[in-house]
Amino acid sequence: MNPLLELRGVSRRFGGLTAVSNVTLTVRPGEIVGLIGPNGAGKTTLVNVMTGVHPATAGSVLFNGRDVTRLAPWQAARAGIGRTFQIVQPFPELTVVENVAAAALFAGGAASIREARALAVEHLEFVGLGELAQRSASALTLAMRKRLELAKGLAMRPRLLLLDEVNAGLNSSEINQALELIQAVAARGVTILIIEHLMKVVTTLCSRVVVLHHGELIAEGTPLTVMRDPKVVQAYLGKRYAENTAGAVHD
């Protein structure tokens, strides 16, 4: 099966700082791939490169066989690459449904405002915010804003959805609900790349994990393989976590 997303030697430099260095990876259709690593490892920068926010300094990004390295963010969205943001910032002066309709209209290619609103209502029902469609986005709780962010991402009609820390700040119950929702998105045929710090989320959702450290890809494989990798233990997980994981697997 040909990859849906392919990065070939991608680097991104900001002046003298190399945020992403020579990253090569593929994401196949239907996968849920986890992207993990310490704070400052370059994870969000890599997503920004994939979506045209920060064009690659070197290397190339291919999506569905097409070179998208130099596309603007709106062009990447129209090509089928959707995303959410770690810091959720809806348009506070708009209603919930208007926020999602804007994504459908300007990034999802909706033919009219009427169609965009209809799609927005559909996505809000899917994420469990249908009853709040006319509420001001500024009145939502954090958990609700996270769901709104996901609805906006889906309104882009993505083939690939990049999720950046969608569970940050949520409690245990809210995380479990988010896991079910992400699995439901994947069941619709959307390929997912998720940046995540919670290993419970990674091990539950992901069939494959890639690990960044200082902008470099240091490990790739199944969640269990990656969690046992000495480089990942040293750079990110810590010895105690690795030992506890090994014990749980052994039991």
The pLDDT tens digits for 147-160 are 999 999 999 999 99
CATH of the domain spanning 1-80+159-251, picked from 3.40.50.2300, 3.30.1360.170, 3.40.630.30, 3.40.50.300 = 3.40.50.300
Distant-in-sequence, close-in-space partners of 89: CB < 8 Å, separation ≥ 6 = none
Handedness of CA 86, 40, 18, 64 (dihedral sign): negative
Beta strands 5-14; 81-83: pairing state: unpaired
Per-residue pLDDT at 249: 44
- What mean pLDDT, rounded, does the chain reach? 92
pLDDT digits (tens, 9 = 90+) for 8-17: 999 999 999 9
Please give the Cα distance from 70 to 249 (Å, whole number).
Answer: 44
Instruction: Name the phi and psi angles at 80, rounded to 5.
Output: 120, 15
Identify the CA nearest to 143 among candidates 176, 167, 179: 167
Per-residue pLDDT at 83: 93
pLDDT digits (tens, 9 = 90+) for 85-110: 888 889 999 999 999 999 999 888 89
| Cross-strand pairs, 229 | none
Identify the CA nearest to 5 among candidates 158, 151, 150, 110: 158
Per-residue pLDDT at 240: 61
- Start-to-end C-alpha separation, the chain: 36
pLDDT digits (tens, 9 = 90+) for 197-246: 888 899 999 999 999 999 999 999 999 999 999 999 998 887 666 566 55
Residue 250 pLDDT class (50, 70, 90 cuts): very low
CA atoms within 13 A on the CB side of 34: 25
pLDDT digits (tens, 9 = 90+) for 31-51: 999 999 999 999 999 999 999
Domain limits of the chain?
Answer: 1-80+159-251, 86-157
Name the one residue in this structure whose structure tokens are 């494989």: 221
Mean pLDDT throughout 72-86? 92
The enclosing H or E element of 122 equals: helix 113-127
